[in-house]
Amino acid sequence: MAKYLLLKHYRGAPAAVNDVPMDRWTPAEIDAHMTYMDDFAKRLEESGEYVDGQALKPEGAWVRSDGDGRPPVTDGPFAETKDLIAGWMIIDVDAWERAVELAGELSAAPGAGGKPIHEWLEVRPLFPAPPTVDD
């Protein structure tokens, strides 16, 4: 088994096929989208492949140290052009092909007009622990 991170972007991903921002959807379309996401996570739990999923608020800031004895420096809110992560899901699956298959399903969540969004999701393998046998 191998773990993969599925990353969803607010901004910064290539344009989706059904590229209408969520605030232009009808409330029923938003509900349908949320139900699809919940059902997807539930199905993954049932197939023994779900690890974690979280959504992120769009706000926040860059933070860095400014040296000993000084408070950290912040830079925010984020510029409108910044690549922005909307949330993630971590899955634990047999192979890369299965990760791609699942990301494809997630990308087909319904959006405006009840039609699949076909949005681009970023799929990234997690590093596993080093093996015990190494010679």
Partner 1 sequence: MDDVRLREIVPAVIGVLVRRGADFASAEDAVQEALVSAVANWPADPPRDPQGWLVTVSWRKHLDQLRSGRARAGREVAYDLEPPPGPVPTADDTLRLYFLCAHPTLPPASAVALTLRAVGGLTTRQIAEAYLVPEPTMAQRISRAKRRLAAVRLDEPGDLPTVLRVLYLIYNEGHSGEVDLATEAIRVTRQLAAVADEPEVAGLLALELLHHARRDARTDATGRLVPLAEQDRSRWDPAMIAEGVAVLQAALARDRLGEYQAQAAIAALHADARSVEETDWVQIVEWYDELVGLTGSPVARLNRAVAVGEADGALAGLAALAELDPALPRHTAASAYLHERAGRLAEAADRYAAAARAASNAAERDHLTRQAARLRQSG
Binding site for partner 1 (CB under 8 A): 1, 3, 44-52, 92, 94, 127-135
Phi, psi of 133 (to 5 degrees): -90, 115
**Considering beta carbons, is residue 1 or 63 the nearer one to partner 1?**
1
Q: Read off the tokens for 89.
A: 């899901």
Report which of 1, 2, 14 is spatially closest to residue 107, judged by C-alpha positions.
14
For residues 47 and 42, give the distance between their C-alpha atoms in angstroms, rounded to a whole number: 9
CB-nearer residue toward partner 1: 47 or 74: 47
Kind and range of the H or E run holding 101: helix 96-107
Q: How far is the CB of 49 from partner 1 (least distance, A)?
A: 7
Report, in Å, the least distance between residue 123 CB and partner 1.
17
Q: How far is the CB of 50 from partner 1 (least distance, A)?
A: 5
